[in-house]
A and B are shown apart, each in its own frame.
Chain A
């Protein structure tokens, strides 16, 4: 293994948590495979130093705006690959990464494993595990010889704590792509309180809530915890009951809270893909045979409408 390039990202001025997770993953792989880790960021030299403190041996900066689309950032990624000599590229499974990974792969005439849940170095080469068939199967891939590119699912690897004692070279990359696609507007979802991805407790609702007002009870239940957020299944989002930014699952957010309370969610594999990493799952469902109940630690088999008010009161009592 020659080396790993991590493509780090910023969002609203901050380096994303997923970027630090990628560095954690890269460090682990580099220590197995005996290569070095470099990182690229559309950001400042100070950002580059932060990446080095979190595990990179060297870093590249690009002057591309932080919200650049893949076509703008791609030439910088290619330049960083060639300058660092990396044979592995790790990218977040973010809105940008979803586009950047495949674009880079096709340009390099190689492949990209999307949304990986495990990475390993075997015989100096990358072996990537990813979920497919909506979460019902796992696939393992290697590469036929080209650039080994993987996008990594959020929360798969732990970030390393910052070590200010680490140092490395920082260089600027000028290459930048033409913006054929122009961003003319952005509307950030404004979830109040704790962000879904950061919440210690997630209370989620599904189609079985029956109507959007069910989410008000879930918000009240979430309010009884300190670090809680409310999520939803895709069925509930598609019905317009809750915003898509709060969707948990394969095509939504990945959460790994200490406690996940699934109310009237059946536990389809695509939903599990977003919360399978929760440490403790509680299901409230009418159907004892549904998958969510099977994967739970605790379950109540009941109409949620009858249980939630009492549960809210009981938890409040425990204070």
Chain B
């Protein structure tokens, strides 16, 4: 089974709120000092899913695609160190500030150029813009079925059986191949690459494709960003005092009663 995994490098989503800054004029996030960008946390899970499917299937190739600046190589290298076979970096100054909709178009073109994919795996969303539209977008552009928010994926005859996380439980679906599946955190911990694998990954090839290589022009944004800012958070907390934990508990219960909350 030939699998393509799409990965993205993003600012660390666990960046403490105090270090998170926005340049409102430029409508951009200012990279936090001393906090390195990371692989979008759902993407190693998508890579893990690809590795398990390939192992179970006993053959095929896993290609990792990332669209981003040159540093996005690190996200590709991480997937290669986990065990993926080849990498493609889509990098072009023309793509420097494209949105999710344009990204889907570029990824779809790259997926076609890689060719012969049975399955395309992605994280359920990128934890920077938190949109989660790229899997559906690539599906629409390539005319493929899209199964989202997967917690389990298994090869099943010519197709897949996927367990999805719903708002109020789980759903099992069967999908034909080729298909796109987006993976959620409920999939479980991805493997962590060992030093030897990281060194081996350095030898794996990462091709770099430009907009011209893909033969696309992503055009203007269909949904322009008008403003980007940080919400104001005010703190008015009252710390409940007391000499012992029991006294604090009693004081809190009384405060809650006074506020008609109990």
Chain A residues with a Cβ under 8 A of chain B: 11, 69-71, 94-95, 98-99, 101-103, 105-107, 109-115, 127, 130-144, 146, 180-189, 224-225, 234, 238, 244-245, 250-251, 253, 258-259, 268-270, 280, 282-283, 288, 291, 293-303, 306-308, 310-311, 313-315, 317-318
The verdict on A183 contacting B171 (CB below 8 Å), with A280-B261, A296-B237 known, is yes
- Looking at A182, A183, A245, A310, which has the most chain B CB atoms within 10 Å of its CB? A310
Give the complex CA separation of A301 and B170 in angstroms. Answer: 37
Which residues on the A side are within 8 Å of B124 (C-beta)?
Answer: 251
Interface residues of B in 196-217 (CB under 8 A from A): none
Q: Interface code B163-207, partner A: CB below 8 Å = 1, 0 otherwise?
A: 011111111111110010000111000000000000000000000
When the two chains form their complex, are residues A299 and B240 in contact, meaning their CB atoms are under 8 A apart?
yes
Nearest Cβ distance between residue A166 and chain B, in whole angstroms? 29
Give the complex CA separation of A237 and B227 in angstroms. Answer: 34
Look across to chain B and name the residue whose beta carbon is closest to the beta carbon of A301. B239
Interface residues of B in 121-135 (CB under 8 A from A): 124-125, 127-133, 135
When the two chains form their complex, are residues B130 and A111 in contact, meaning their CB atoms are under 8 A apart?
no
Q: In this assembly, does B15 line the interface, its C-beta being within 8 Å of a C-beta of chain A?
A: yes
Look across to chain B and name the residue whose beta carbon is closest to the beta carbon of A11. B168
Q: Kindly identify which residue among B137, B145, B220, B256 contacts A181, using a CB–CB cutoff of 8 Å.
A: B145
When the two chains form their complex, are residues B185 and A311 in contact, meaning their CB atoms are under 8 A apart?
no
Q: List 11 A-B contacts (CB under 8 A).
A: A133-B20, A137-B22, A139-B227, A141-B223, A181-B145, A186-B170, A186-B172, A244-B165, A299-B240, A310-B249, A311-B252
When the two chains form their complex, are residues B165 and A99 in contact, meaning their CB atoms are under 8 A apart?
no
Look across to chain A and name the residue whose beta carbon is closest to the beta carbon of B99. A111
Interface secondary structure of A, over-half rule: mixed
Look across to chain A and name the residue whose beta carbon is closest to the beta carbon of B137. A106
Q: Kindly identify which residue among A185, A270, A280, A288 contacts B239, using a CB–CB cutoff of 8 Å.
A: A288
Interface secondary structure of B, over-half rule: mixed
When the two chains form their complex, are residues A282 and B168 in contact, meaning their CB atoms are under 8 A apart?
no
Which residues on the B side are within 8 Å of A298 (C-beta)?
Answer: 237-238, 240, 252, 255-256
When the two chains form their complex, are residues A98 and B149 in contact, meaning their CB atoms are under 8 A apart?
yes
When the two chains form their complex, are residues B221 and A144 in contact, meaning their CB atoms are under 8 A apart?
yes
Q: In this assembly, does B148 line the interface, its C-beta being within 8 Å of a C-beta of chain A?
A: yes
- Rank and list the top 7 A-B pairs by shortest CB-CB distance, nearest first: A111-B223, A102-B136, A310-B249, A314-B253, A106-B140, A306-B245, A185-B172
Give the complex CA separation of A141 and B169 in angstroms. Answer: 32
Chain B residues with a Cβ under 8 A of chain A: 11, 13-15, 17, 20, 22, 29, 99, 101, 104, 124-125, 127-133, 135-137, 139-141, 145-149, 161, 164-176, 179, 184-186, 220-231, 233, 235-240, 245-246, 248-250, 252-257, 259, 261-262
Which residues on the A side are within 8 Å of B253 (C-beta)?
Answer: 311, 314-315, 317-318
The verdict on A114 contacting B131 (CB below 8 Å), with A106-B101, A106-B141, A140-B227 known, is yes
When the two chains form their complex, are residues B185 and A238 in contact, meaning their CB atoms are under 8 A apart?
yes
Q: Kindly identify which residue among B186, B222, B228, B248 contacts A300, using a CB–CB cutoff of 8 Å.
A: B248
Look across to chain A and name the residue whose beta carbon is closest to the beta carbon of B128. A133
Nearest Cβ distance between residue B119 and chain A, in whole angstroms? 14
Nearest Cβ distance between residue B222 and chain A, in whole angstroms? 4
Give the complex CA separation of A186 and B235 in angstroms. Answer: 43
Which residues on the A side are within 8 Å of B129 (C-beta)?
Answer: 132-133, 139
The verdict on A133 contacting B101 (CB below 8 Å), with A138-B230, A294-B235, A307-B245 known, is no
The verdict on A282 contacting B252 (CB below 8 Å), with A140-B227, A259-B261 known, is yes
Which residues on the B side are within 8 Å of A181 (C-beta)?
Answer: 145, 147, 173-175, 179
Give the complex CA separation of A280 and B179 in angstroms. Answer: 45
Which residues on the B side are within 8 Å of A131 (C-beta)?
Answer: 130, 231
When the two chains form their complex, are residues B167 and A318 in contact, meaning their CB atoms are under 8 A apart?
no
When the two chains form their complex, are residues A105 and B245 in contact, meaning their CB atoms are under 8 A apart?
no
- Looking at A136, A185, A253, A302, which has the most chain B CB atoms within 10 Å of its CB? A136
